[in-house]
Structure 1
Amino acid sequence: MEKDKHQLHCSKHLKSFDPTCGECHRNGTTSSEHLFSNARSSWFCIACIFENKPTAEVCEMCKAKKSTLQNQPLSNNVTLINSHSLINTTQTDRLILMNSTTSLNPSLTTTYMSMNIRDRRHRDEAEAERKFRTIIERCRRTNTHFVDDEFPHSPSSLGDSYSQNNFEWVRISKFCSSFRNDDPTEWTVMSSPEPSDIEQGLLGNCWLVTALSLISERPRMLQHILLTQNINDEGVYLVRLCHNGLWKTIIVDDSFPCYFDDMLLFSKARRRQLYIPLIEKACAKLFGSYSKLISGQIEEGLQLFTGAPCDHIDLENDDEPIDSDLVWAKLLSSCQANLLIGASTSRTDVNKDVYDQFKVHGNHAFSILAAHALDNDLCRFVLLRDPHAHSCYTDERVTPEVLQILRTVHKAHRSSGAFWMEWSKFLLLFSKITISTYVGSHFDIREQARFNRSPTDSISVFYFHVPQYVSNIFCETRSKRV
């Protein structure tokens, strides 16, 4: 009885999936009955979906009568998804009243509850582990090596830009090191990965390699993308990617396009690590071929790996001059929040000669690792990394004394493709800053939507009940690569 009173009194303080009350810190419950108990004490207007007090006979917002609501039939089939399990239950959900006019026929309503990003990831990883074990056991039972027939070792997987006559598909156990001067160590999936390990190959996919470089700054995030952590004789590897807003597990084998001297053709990682070619191959399989990875935007890569939307700061605005102080403040706060940040040099008002003068690649994607100001904010610098590691940019403002101070902010060295650039030069050469909004502690809901082809088609209506706050409502358009 005492617990029931606590639930009634503190239901509004309970987070979606935390059984502990946020105000009094007593144990609550995560049952569906409790999740909607507070909602049943109030009522929702079908005209404006305003939540009214239980004693109100007229909607406080639009003055519609409560009796109209009471005459509407309610759906009795609800699917709840919580952070601990997936359950199907039949509950009358008074939160879901989609039909705001009598001309819309009531239909079966599905309710999705937000899931913590970490819990969603753990659920997907558990399912991927079951798939992995099934394939491994089948290979061992039949004494065979896994060959992915959905992404064959043929010209179709390379795409139109490449000819099979110039390359061959080689298994991990047979091809040489990623780099000619690499240490003669055993192949691993990952071994303390660092962004400086990564180098773009023959493929023009700097957008993907730059995103991978940013992710490699966070090895724990990388482990949740490449789910198979160890080399296996069967050649089975699982990669988790977010495609068109939905998480998918991609299965790939251990054969890769190589030159005839058995050197990897596309992206690679130093110290005989396979995580870069494995993830790149999973992306190629997802989109149809390696050629489909040519050309793209950094945000596409970040969304593939994090599932989170990206914010953009446009540095090339013909309508009005940019506020450099405001842009700097946004960049600095994003760096301090440890967000994933990229930038691109694709300005239409800067020609190739200018980029050549500064020895910076034009129409290229870079990682932003840090931003720092000296002399009471008078001298501002941005730390960039080139995934090619070929940029030879030098800055007269970055003297040895200044560089020594800046290295206390971030220890990245030139050999890894990293270099500091003065703020005014950055604004001159770069066209856009891309900032991933990924935060591992957030909750999210993912649902496929569609556009109607006819005005007579039934429509899907989404009603969001946000008990605390919302970070983003993000609509992702379908990828143009498929």
Structure 2
Amino acid sequence: MPPPDGCNHNPHEDDVNSPTSPFNFLDQNYQELHQNCLAENTLFYDELFPPDDSSIGTLEDNPYLDPSLIVWKRPFELVSDPNLIVDGVSRYDYAQGNVGNCWFLASIGALTFEKDIMKQVMPPEQSFTQDYAGIFHFRFWRFGKWIDVVIDDQLPTYFDELLFVSSKTSNEFWPALLEKAYAKVCGSYADLNGGLMSEALMDFTGGTHMYYSPDYNPPPADLWKIMECAFTSKALICCATNAATTAEEKEKLHGISEEHAYTVTGIFEVTSDENPVHLVRVLNPWGKVEWQGDWSDESPLWDTVCEEVRTICHEVLNNGEFWMSVEDFTSIFYCIDICCSCPDFLDGSSECHWTSKRHFGRWNAETTAETFPQFRVTIDELNEECAIGQRPENTLVSLMQNHEKRNRMSQKYYNICFFVFEIPLEMRGQSGRFSAGFVNETEPVAQTDALAGFREVMKFFRLEPGEYLIVPCTENPGDTASFVLSIFSKNETHFEYIQETSE
């Protein structure tokens, strides 16, 4: 598996930073600010995310919360011995607070499994003891760019309890500080209310995102095997439920919450009465409330497996984590997100390594159906190692939009999609854009399954060696937003933006 900063990446000229050389968010330089505080013997005060109502935002889901009773305190004002981390980072360290950001916390649960990625997001050598100055920093990948986010350690409290994410160990503060840094990026704590797991997963890794859902990308028959390979290969996996609309749908939930995000924390095969059973372990970010069906903590089915397996897998604890069969898992969880540095895991033990290309583009008010951006992709022959991979798909295309507004909840994503057309032999090598006639009259060889108002849409498919045209679109020509178009491939790939031709 390649290192956490991604596939063998050939960057576009604008994509020159990395987790180790990020851009300073809001032009705040952590090293300079930290050293200034130490030199002046002061604690950092973040004027760009101040301890007041503007950083909280409007918490519409909590009408009984009295904003006048919110008090911002530093950790040493809450406990006598604050620590960033106590006994390592764990998925059991935290529980959700007074904002609907289960999508973000479920993603943190997945993040805790991957220590290298965790260090990438939360740089080491920060503490409440050595060189403490009330300042911390975190790193996220936002719309194709790594950013370093500086915060002070003042946290909102309500009757001396943390208002938002809380630690189960009272003197451990990494979850609250990580949440604050992400809230700063998104505009406020209230801007974390509601979202898709894929947003945080991608912002943690800057990698490849795959999702499966009935409406947009139905899960394949071998989903459990894909998840097993992904989990073994250090991918982050989350899942979410939809609203239950019928009595039958509500009945089969058996303790699973509607419209809620969860973390996938384990994949395991057991033998039950001589029959193989594929299990998935799932964590509720609330830190409680669990599945009550087959293979749950108190299910009698655990008596049908050997004692060794029960020792490894079976715990009866009300910690929000539970096992279930993959059949129950896929029937209840509507969306499954897998995010990894690179999709190499899809080829099992193959020596093939995927590569990635990325381009930053823009739709503007003058964009019409005839002038959507166009990209030429040349797919080379597979080498022998890649040709023996386990899956036929060899290409993943991702289209991510960015309205460039500070407050996350103030921007509504456009319905977006992309089309992939094969370029005929007689048209290969031509310069300039392809005509509207070609685009309108040619059947695409691949496309997103539907126009979707998501931050990102993706499609996983096979392209034979040859030349192709990718056209990223908005539903309404003239919608204005920047976008990032990424292509991941296990073939050698040449990727270029087709410039407008002058008259």
Q: Pick from 294, 317, 332: which aligns with 1:429?
A: 332
- Structure 1: 5+ residue runs without aligned partners? 1-81, 84-109, 177-183
Whole-Å Cα distance in 2 between the matches of residues 219 and 266 of structure 1?
24
- Taking CA–CA contacts closer than 8 Å with sequence separation of 6 or more, which of the two structures ends up with the larger relative contact order? 2
Contact 2:209 2:339 in 1 (8 A): yes
Residues 1:273 and 1:466: Cα distance change in structure 2 (over 3 Å):
farther
Asked if 1:112 corresponds to 2:10, the answer is no
Normalised by the length of structure 2, the TM-score is: 0.62
Asked if 1:188 corresponds to 2:188, the answer is no
1:240 Cα deviation after fit? 0.5
Match of residue 359 from structure 1: 255
Match of residue 230 from structure 1: 127
Residues 1:355 and 1:259: Cα distance change in structure 2 (over 3 Å):
farther
Amino acid corresponding to residue 165 of structure 1 in structure 2 = S
Q: Secondary structure at the match of 1:174?
A: helix
Amino acid corresponding to residue 112 of structure 1 in structure 2 = E
Asked if 1:299 corresponds to 2:202, the answer is no
Contact 1:204 1:295 in 2 (8 A): yes
1:227 Cα deviation after fit? 2.1
Q: Secondary structure at the match of 1:238?
A: strand
1:477 Cα deviation after fit? 1.5
Residues 1:269 and 1:353: Cα distance change in structure 2 (over 3 Å):
same
Q: Secondary structure at the match of 2:18?
A: helix
Bigger share in strand: 2
Give the number of the structure whose alpha-carbon radius of gyration is greater: 1
Whole-Å Cα distance in 1 between the matches of residues 315 and 260 of structure 2?
20
Q: 1:258-297 maps to which residues of 2 (within 5 A)?
A: 258-260=157-159, 262-271=160-169, 272-297=171-196
Match of residue 291 from structure 2: 393
Match of residue 450 from structure 1: 362
1:213 Cα deviation after fit? 0.7
Residues 1:287 and 1:448: Cα distance change in structure 2 (over 3 Å):
same
Match of residue 257 from structure 1: 156
Deviation by residue 1:71-121 (Cα, 9 ceiling, x = unmatched): xxxxxxxxxxx99xxxxxxxxxxxxxxxxxxxxxxxxxx963987xxx922
1:127 Cα deviation after fit? 11
1:312 Cα deviation after fit? 1.2
Match of residue 242 from structure 1: 141
1:455 Cα deviation after fit? 5.4
Match of residue 457 from structure 2: none
Contact 1:237 1:252 in 2 (8 A): yes
Contact 2:284 2:290 in 1 (8 A): no
Amino acid corresponding to residue 135 of structure 1 in structure 2 = L
1:378 Cα deviation after fit? 4.4
Deviation by residue 1:244-293 (Cα, 9 ceiling, x = unmatched): 23211111001000012x22111123332221111111111111110110
Q: 1:331-370 maps to which residues of 2 (within 5 A)?
A: 331-349=227-245, 354=250, 358-370=254-266
Whole-Å Cα distance in 1 between the matches of residues 250 and 101 of structure 2?
23
Q: Secondary structure at the match of 1:450?
A: strand
Contact 1:342 1:365 in 2 (8 A): yes
Q: 1:121-270 maps to which residues of 2 (within 5 A)?
A: 121-124=19-22, 131-161=29-59, 163-176=66-79, 186-189=82-85, 191-227=87-123, 229-231=126-128, 232-260=131-159, 262-270=160-168
In the alignment of these two chains, the number of paired residues is 361
Whole-Å Cα distance in 2 between the matches of residues 291 and 423 of structure 1?
34
1:175 Cα deviation after fit? 1.5
Amino acid corresponding to residue 477 of structure 1 in structure 2 = Q
Whole-Å Cα distance in 2 between the matches of residues 165 and 113 of structure 1?
45
Match of residue 477 from structure 1: 401
Whole-Å Cα distance in 2 between the matches of residues 328 and 278 of structure 1?
34
Match of residue 10 from structure 1: none
Q: Secondary structure at the match of 2:162?
A: coil
Deviation by residue 1:224-255 (Cα, 9 ceiling, x = unmatched): 11125322532111110112232111110010
Whole-Å Cα distance in 2 between the matches of residues 202 and 307 of structure 1?
28
Match of residue 269 from structure 2: 373
Match of residue 450 from structure 2: none
Q: Secondary structure at the match of 2:225?
A: helix
Amino acid corresponding to residue 221 of structure 2 in structure 1 = D
Contact 2:240 2:261 in 1 (8 A): yes
Match of residue 31 from structure 1: none
Bigger share in helix: 1
Residues 1:458 and 1:163: Cα distance change in structure 2 (over 3 Å):
farther
Residues 1:218 and 1:290: Cα distance change in structure 2 (over 3 Å):
same
1:362 Cα deviation after fit? 1.5
Whole-Å Cα distance in 2 between the matches of residues 114 and 304 of structure 1?
15
Amino acid corresponding to residue 22 of structure 2 in structure 1 = D
Residues 1:111 and 1:345: Cα distance change in structure 2 (over 3 Å):
closer
Q: Secondary structure at the match of 2:45?
A: coil
Residues 1:358 and 1:327: Cα distance change in structure 2 (over 3 Å):
same
Residues 1:251 and 1:427: Cα distance change in structure 2 (over 3 Å):
same
Contact 1:114 1:445 in 2 (8 A): no
Residues 1:241 and 1:443: Cα distance change in structure 2 (over 3 Å):
farther
Whole-Å Cα distance in 1 between the matches of residues 337 and 231 of structure 2?
12
1:141 Cα deviation after fit? 3.3
Whole-Å Cα distance in 2 between the matches of residues 245 and 257 of structure 1?
31
1:131 Cα deviation after fit? 2.8
Amino acid corresponding to residue 476 of structure 1 in structure 2 = M
Match of residue 310 from structure 1: 209
Q: Secondary structure at the match of 2:400?
A: coil
Residues 1:189 and 1:330: Cα distance change in structure 2 (over 3 Å):
closer
Residues 1:443 and 1:280: Cα distance change in structure 2 (over 3 Å):
farther
Contact 2:205 2:340 in 1 (8 A): no
Deviation by residue 1:418-449 (Cα, 9 ceiling, x = unmatched): 11112332233211211113249976555432
Normalised by the length of structure 1, the TM-score is: 0.64
Q: Secondary structure at the match of 1:196?
A: coil
1:374 Cα deviation after fit? 3.5
Deviation by residue 1:386-429 (Cα, 9 ceiling, x = unmatched): 11122232334632453855456657773442111123322332
Whole-Å Cα distance in 2 between the matches of residues 255 and 351 of structure 1?
46
Residues 1:413 and 1:126: Cα distance change in structure 2 (over 3 Å):
farther
Q: Secondary structure at the match of 1:362?
A: coil
1:135 Cα deviation after fit? 0.9
Q: Pick from 272, 280, 291: which aligns with 1:382?
A: 280
